[in-house]
Amino acid sequence: MTYLFHIGMGMIIIVLQTTIFHHMGLVIGFYDLLIVQIIYLGLYRPLRESLVIIGLVGFAMDSLTGGPYGLYLTTYLWVFAGVRWSLAYFHLSNTFIFPFVVAFGVMLENLIHLAGTVSLESASVSIARADFRTVTLQLLWAVFTGPLALILLNMLSQHSGKWFLRLVTAGKED
């Protein structure tokens, strides 16, 4: 059940950020919301389950974007590995740390994308200057909305099992 929930949630996020959020002027410079889901998987879900979900969501994101193939999958795997590695040293489930964890994920994603862009482009200095404003906006969005998104995703994930059980047993009467 958790596989279906997280894959479905990932697909909903992909559709929202590639269609609706893209056309809204309010969310200019918004970060990749899948980073929040990847961080959630790193914090709360088992390794095997997380890797399957990351693989499917990363593949879907790579298929829908025009960037180099494998960029999002690689980014998500590195963010997931960073969160898992950090669990050995920090208590990342503390809600006080959530803004920094999400900001770390967004920054890591931007560094990986910048490294890919710089390796493909010759005008790397102009790219870095133009992206500084976008990265700053993404980090601000991540600090303020990331913890709320993590808490919401945790609540939805906890209740999804109950909703599914109610849905399955709704037609059965004794």
- Tell me how far apart the 2 most distant CA atoms of the chain are, in Å: 70
Q: What is the pLDDT of residue 19?
A: 81
* Residue 54, in any domain of the structure: yes
Looking at residue 40, its pLDDT comes to 93
State the amino acid at position 30 in one-letter form. Answer: F
pLDDT of residue 98: 86
Q: What is the pLDDT of residue 37?
A: 94
Q: How far does Cα 26 stand from its chain's mean position?
A: 20
pLDDT at 91: 77
* Burial class of 32 by CB neighbour count within 10 A (0 to 12, 13 to 18, 19+): buried
Whether 108 is covered by a domain: the verdict is yes
The pLDDT score that the predictor gives to residue 158 is 85
The domain tally of the chain equals: 1
Mean pLDDT for each consecutive 10-residue tract of the chain (174 residues)? Answer: 86 86 71 92 92 94 84 94 89 80 90 76 61 84 90 87 69 58
Which residues constitute the domain of residue 23? 2-169
Tell me if 174 is assigned to some domain: no
Domain-located, residue 53: yes
Is residue 40 in some structural domain?
yes
pLDDT at 92: 66
